Chain A
Amino acid sequence: MRRPKLPRSPKVLAGLVLLGFFLIMTVIGPWLAPYDPNLNTFTPNLGPSWQHLLGTTTLGQDVMSQLLVGCRVTMVVGFIAGFVATILSIIVGLTAGYAGGRTDEGLSMMSTMFLVIPGLPLLIVISSYLPAGEQANPLVIGFVIALTGWAWGARVLRAQTLSLRNRDFVEAARIIGESRWRIMFGEIGPNLLPILAASLLFTILYSVGVYTTLAFLGLTDVSTWNWGTMMYWAQTNNAALANEWWWLAPPGIAIALVGTSLALINFGIDEYINPRLRTGTTTARERRKMGMDRRPRLGFTPVHRHLGPQPTPDLTTAGTDVPGVPS
């Protein structure tokens, strides 16, 4: 099988750079933190300064240190939950799609059920019953999140498996006498990779969001620093009313940026799965330079074969200027 190659669009590149940045911060963030995030001996409510790059909280703590230390827990829980959920969705989705019949009925029904039950309220109920010791353990929370987050991936994987199941190469493998497991993970599996990657990214995004939300509600240990607990403390101390934007904004923007990076990479995967979504690797300026129409065209996907310095007239583009259509 050909190795899936992500389209090299600026979107994907930006996503990869952003995600890489946060992954590096996950590793080295706590070492970079200038102070102990719990240390509350600074002058409270200071705006950003060289001493405190992101100011201090009402409690006299350094915001920058909290942000850097909190990155690790937030990302680790998000990724663990994402991976566990994806493994669950592979098991359920692949089995349902490949086995078909009653097994499929049952498993699909189960995923639909998990899909329609509102995840956050369920998580809130479960985690509020957890003993305080378990609540404080990010891993436990990660697993609970994974339990509620696998259904979407399972559904997408099932649909794709179903469409692959009756293709010729799978049929051939069956005739050769390959085992069910080998067909499932050796033949069908690799063809699911792009969808699997998309579902993994989506689930990590979901997990980061849900984990920080639970932390924001005070449902995880409020003394473990993650971006949700930062906002929990900001909210309990009425940072919004005191206009302490340097305290409020960083954790929220960090969460949003992690989400954005994952979603941007997902765009690339979407464009890989569905080539129609590709709008070309050229920017508007490049196209104008090459004498191409800047306006999007109708009726087909623009294919720019020759992107050299001397563009040859592209036949596929030429045929579309339908006379009489105001553009």
Chain B
Amino acid sequence: MTSLPRRLAIYALTAWAAITANFFLPRMMPGDPIQQLIGKLQGRVTPEMIQAIKAQFGKGLNQPLLVQYWDYLGQLLHGNLGMSITLSAPVGQVISSQVWWTIGLIGFAAVVSFVIGTTLGVYFGWTRGSRADVAIPVATFLQSVPFYFLGTIFIMIFAAKLHWFPIMGAYDPSLTPGWNWAFISSVLRYAELPLAAIVLCSLAGWMLGMRNMMVTTISEDFILMAVAKGLPRRRVMWQAARNAVIPSVANLALTIGLLVSGSLLVEQIFNYPGVGNLLVNAVGNEDYPLLQGIFLVITFTVLIANFMADALYYVLDPRTRSVAAH
């Protein structure tokens, strides 16, 4: 683990790479997808719209690529992500109206699955070699289930068949959004099933990782020492867990990306408003400006989440600080 400023630099570089990829991908792809899109759009949208797309993707401008790139960076700096073709609104506006649903759902799911998964991991690590080991193949199976598949099965069983949960959406459509209890409780109610799907799929990973770390930590000398000293079992378990959780936090970075990737499709299954849903629709409609904007927003959010995870790791593990001091 490198020092925090260094991580920050890497994330900044990653953000720049994502932006650059976003700029060059449509321009470098074989078959010129943008030209094809413009061809398809002729007569379907206003001429201004086509002009805007041409400007965004540098069609018919005859400017050198570097100038276009510079312009693109400038536009981004002003928060201008272009116009969505299907929604005829600025991409930035479209995304910012939906992104909070996603952050709320996935963020909450991430915290819940981390806490539950890690706790279970501590338990199953502690009881390794006993009957509780049955949990391992079960967790392995759950971990391999695609998020969207579990979501679909949940809808089929719990919503369509048993009617325990609403089938889709984020709140009762008869309510007007606002800060009142009726609306908030409806939001929570509608979030239960997608949340359950995401948590169930992602907690297995935490659990298995934590179990492995726990098993490794238990065979360390300081645990034997703690036992020999006659500490109560619970205290020993706590000591082991505290030390085992650190690598788990260090792995947060890896997992956040996977979690976000998996959850995006859950939104689509549940017709939940949010970035994932927008993304899937943008793909279906070949709405490239929207697609690009969403990719950038997701990447930036994941980078920020990663940095927060790094900071947490830094706080938890004093050794990182002494290394950084060198």
User: Residues of A with Cβ closer than 8 Å to B?
Assistant: 11, 14, 109, 112-113, 115-122, 124-126, 128-131, 133-134, 152, 205, 209, 212-213, 216-219, 231, 234-235, 239-241, 243, 245, 248-249, 251-252, 255-260, 262-264, 267, 270, 274, 276-277, 279-280, 284, 294-296, 298-302, 322, 324-327
Contacts and interface: CB of A to CB of B under 8 A. Distances in A.
Interface in B62-92: none
A219 B283 contact: yes
Interface stretch (B13-21, B44-52, B170-178, B183-191): B13-21
Contact of A117 (B14, B25, B155, B233): B14
B140 A277 contact: no
A216 B130 contact: no
Given A125-B295, A256-B145, 13 more contacts: A113-B13, A117-B299, A117-B302, A125-B292, A128-B291, A216-B148, A231-B149, A252-B152, A259-B143, A267-B140, A279-B128, A284-B130, A324-B230
Closest 8 CB pairs of A and B: A259-B144, A131-B31, A299-B224, A120-B261, A252-B149, A279-B129, A240-B156, A118-B257
Given A240-B152, A248-B152, A277-B215, A295 B130 contact: yes
Most chain B CB neighbours (cut-off 10 Å) among A121, A133, A274: A121
Interface in B112-158: 126-131, 133, 136-137, 140-141, 143-146, 148-150, 152-153, 155-156
B144 A255 contact: yes
B13 A109 contact: yes
Interface string B237-260: 000000000000000011001101
Nearest to B22: A125
A122 to B, nearest CB: 7
Nearest to B305: A116
A121 B298 contact: yes
Contacts of B288: 128-129
Given A113-B17, A121-B279, A240 B233 contact: no
A296 B298 contact: no
A241 B160 contact: yes
Interface residues of B, number: 77
Contact of A299 (B131, B219, B279): B219
Contacts of A322: 227-228, 230
Nearest to A152: B254
A81 B280 CA distance: 23
Contacts of A280: 129
A109 B212 contact: no
B161 interface: yes
A131 B33 contact: yes
Contacts of B303: 116
Contacts of A129: 25-26, 29, 33, 288
A311 B224 CA distance: 25
Contacts of B31: 130-131, 133-134
Contacts of B145: 252, 255-256, 259
Contact of A274 (B25, B146, B216, B292): B216
Nearest to B236: A298
Interface string B16-40: 0110011001100111010000000
A126 B291 CA distance: 10
A31 to B, nearest CB: 27
Contacts of B291: 124-125, 128
A319 to B, nearest CB: 10
19 contacts: A14-B137, A117-B299, A120-B261, A122-B299, A124-B283, A125-B25, A218-B284, A241-B160, A243-B156, A248-B152, A252-B145, A252-B146, A260-B137, A274-B216, A277-B216, A279-B133, A284-B130, A298-B223, A300-B219
Contact of B146 (A133, A213, A240, A277): A213
A298 B306 CA distance: 35
B10 interface: yes
A263 B140 contact: yes
Given A117-B18, A120-B261, A294-B130, A326 B298 contact: no
B54 to A, nearest CB: 17
